[in-house]
Homo-oligomer: A and B are copies of this chain.
């Protein structure tokens, strides 16, 4: 069990590598739209944004101005005032960057937009192409569904998906039964139902069991950019005769596992890390991983709920405080 416990520590570290010493955290600039921080831009990505002087103002040093405090940041110019104007100019920048082909992330273009906000409860500032979000370090939201059942012997079984080999990110890796990003204009339960239907052909008689059970949050960075993410988690209790069937080509295959097998798989290299975290949360909520059998229980729990909404996007607060 010691090595499994170590595997869990590695897992939460991987999902939160932006918080570890040596990350780019301290050299990122806040991305600011209309006085609100909505993301973080890494130095290597900043270089790609410099040419767009008619779109962004880049401030490197802290200095006072007659009209208030100016802190370092990448500022979307205030002339883009409406949501529509911002959508349009960000689309122009990302299309142009994609054409130049210098950014890994944009090679996985999704043709799907995410809503950009400061906190989740704040008004929408603009929409942005999904593959561009990590360039600006905006919080991305998604839904993940744990598909499970108790077999006739009372044994807990879980369905896992294996991602299609053609997925732009984490191809061929193990995943939750269904999951997906929260596209613009979709409700969260609505999005979860859609993923269950499209990815696993879950019928209505099971969908009534779909239950919202929490969310996890974490922040990692990789060659693509910075990824602060919040995943809304759903449990879906199935019965032994159900078998998932993919219709949208996003899942390569499904496999059924005992919970002991699942425990081994989530600390293996073949599991997409954030999906493994969703399962760790499941194991804790279902009394399988407990504070008595896992010494790092409080730490793991905290690192699965990293405070993105309160301590990550602090630019606005910082500015507010300096004005007091």
Specify which chain B residues have a CB less than 8 angstroms from the CB of A189 in the assembled complex.
290, 292
Verify B292–A299 contact, CB threshold 8 A: no
Q: A119-B299, A296-B121 are in contact. Are A215 and B305 (CB under 8 A)?
A: no
Write out the residue numbers on chain B whose beta carbons fall within 8 Å of the beta carbon of A141. Answer: 298
Distance between A282 CB and nearest chain B CB, rounded to angstroms: 11
Q: Which of A72-80, A86-94, A146-154, A306-314 contacts B (4 or more CB under 8 A)?
A: A306-314
Is A297 part of the contact surface with B, judged by Cβ < 8 Å? yes
Interface string of A209-233 (1 = CB under 8 A from B): 0011111010000000000001010
Interface size on A, residues (CB 8 A): 40
Decide: B217 and A297 in contact? CB cutoff 8 A: no
A287 CB–B CB distance under 8 Å = yes
Assembly stoichiometry (copies): 2
Per the bound structure, the CA–CA distance linking A120 and B290 in Å amounts to 13
B213–A284 touching, CB < 8 Å: yes
CB distance from A137 to the nearest CB of B (A): 16
Q: B287 touching A211 by the CB < 8 A rule? A: yes
By a CB distance below 8 angstroms, the chain B residues around A120 are 295-299
Residue of B nearest to A210 (CB): B287
Question: Which of A121, A141, A188 counts the most B-chain CB atoms under 10 A from its CB?
Answer: A121
Beta-carbon contact of B212 and A290 below 8 Å = yes
A291 within 8 Å of B by Cβ? yes
Task: Decide: B21 and A290 in contact? CB cutoff 8 A.
Answer: no
B contact residues around A21 at 8 Å (CB): 321
A295-B213 contact in complex given A290-B188, A290-B189, C-beta closer than 8 Å:
no
**Known contacts A119-B296, A120-B295, A121-B295, then 12 further A-B pairs from the complex at CB < 8 Å, ordered by chain A residue:** A141-B298, A187-B292, A188-B290, A188-B291, A189-B290, A189-B292, A215-B297, A285-B285, A298-B309, A305-B305, A305-B307, A307-B307
30 cross-chain CB contacts under 8 A? A21-B321, A120-B295, A120-B296, A120-B297, A120-B299, A187-B292, A188-B290, A188-B291, A188-B292, A189-B292, A212-B287, A212-B291, A212-B292, A213-B285, A213-B286, A214-B284, A214-B301, A215-B297, A215-B301, A217-B301, A298-B309, A299-B309, A299-B310, A302-B306, A302-B308, A302-B310, A303-B307, A303-B310, A305-B305, A306-B307
